[in-house]
Amino acid sequence: MTNTPPREPQILEFANSPAIPDFLIKDVRAKLAYIDEAVDKASIVEDGARIRLVLKSVPDESLQKAIEDKVARVVTAMVKGAFEPRLRSLEDHMDRLHAYDRDPMDELLAEREVVREGNGYYTLGPKLSRLIDYMESRFLWLAGEMQAEPYRFPALIPAEYMERVKYFSNFPHSLSFVSHLREDLEVIEDFAQHACCSHGVVDAPDHSMAAPGAMLTPTVCHHLYYALADQTIPMDGMTVTAYGHCFRYESSNMISLERLWNFTMREIIFVGPESFVKQGLEKVRKKAAPIFADLGLAYRIENASDPFFIGTFTNQTAYQNALELKFEIRALLPFKNDTVAVGSYNRHQTFFGTHLNIHMENEELPHTGCVGFGYERLAFAFVAQHGTDPKGWPEPVRAYMDDHAVC
Ligand code: AMP
Ligand code: ZN
């Protein structure tokens, strides 16, 4: 890797030798967002041969050198030993017609149907909320068909649990920590008198905050596995459903409704023998197809891997791919001629059973699996394909919108 002098004061470019292979470009780019707080935007250009970083300010020589070292570390760790994943498609409906091909975000912001509160979190107005209510009504029906038991989970999850299921080592970059002021009269009074919000962040006196014992939960199903820790479950398995807020810090990768810090999901979760989990996921996939057809959604379902951080990336993605543990529902975004995952089917084998000491009545470890439908992404892909005006939406959705309009 060689560092060429900055083209413009805030741009650093690096040549990669050899070039980053095509199948890794998105993953490497996503990780570059986390290498240094000075990085504003990272891109990989010229077919993987060059990395371009836009920095927040002009770097001095030592910062340039530090960034160069970090880029080299990320690229080496992710490219060395990587192999091209084998992609298998379970469904392909990419040829469904779409009437719209612009980025819907500008229109949604202009009509205040989407209001940005902060980086990666938005308020949604009545139109998108009703659209999501429609989707939720269909997925709730699906959960009922699967005889799933309803659960409600908190938005907080214990730090201790997250460590136990290896979240600290697999996804440290996306963690969101929850703290509060230390229980100390002086600390609280000092904060009340002197703290302020400066450049969008809390500027508090030193040592005011307690060490975080809780995190904002990154996903829904973990709460069920936690609830089952040290328990014995029936041999015929458990099917559960829950809706929840999820939090994943995605740094400068957060754009529009496509990639959020705070999003919502409906999950259907299976715990039991391997065949029970596999068959449950397959049944859900078949029953979900008519729902996506009613949404008129162009998508395909293909295998994928989770966004592990660089330390565990290569091994974990290879493992997931080889065993086909994850399949994503990837919806078309016509305006960028690309796709985005709006849902996923996941199998974790006996990972949670092992780490949480869950057993079945015959003493064996249960398998777990889940399907998650991400609502903001689904709504975003839907309007990216059908436009922001409900008059142009598929009939079943329009009918729901009409039936649920305020008179
Ligand atoms: P995953 O557990 O990573 O397979 O995510 C399940 C679903 O959650 C994805 O298919 C998306 O619909 C949604 N999702 C995941 N990450 C984000 C994000 N950063 N912003 C919005 N939706 C997301
Ligand atoms: Zn899950």
pLDDT digits (tens, 9 = 90+) for 336-387: 999 999 999 999 999 999 999 999 999 999 999 999 999 999 999 999 999 9
Inter-CA distances, 371 with 162, 320, 349, Å: 20, 16, 14
Residue type, 331: A
* pLDDT, mean of residues 245-250: 97
Give the residue, out of 246, 261, 326, 345, with the most ligand 1 atoms within 8 A of its beta carbon, to mutate for a pocket test: 246
Confidence at 5, pLDDT banded by 50, 70, 90: low
Per DSSP, the three-state class of 239 is strand
For ligand 1, atom 9, the nearest C-alpha belongs to 343
Bridge partners (DSSP) of residue 262 are: 247
Angle at 382 between CA 339 and CA 320, to 5 degrees: 40
Asked if residue 222 has its Cβ within 6 Å of ligand 1, the reply is no
From the CA of 218, which ligand is nearest? 1
Whole-number pLDDT of residue 407: 73
* pLDDT, mean of residues 66-87: 91
With CA atoms as reference, report the closest residue to 369 among 237, 257, 196: 237
pLDDT digits (tens, 9 = 90+) for 17-72: 778 999 999 999 999 999 999 999 999 999 999 999 999 999 899 999 999 999 99
From the CA of 343, which ligand is nearest? 1
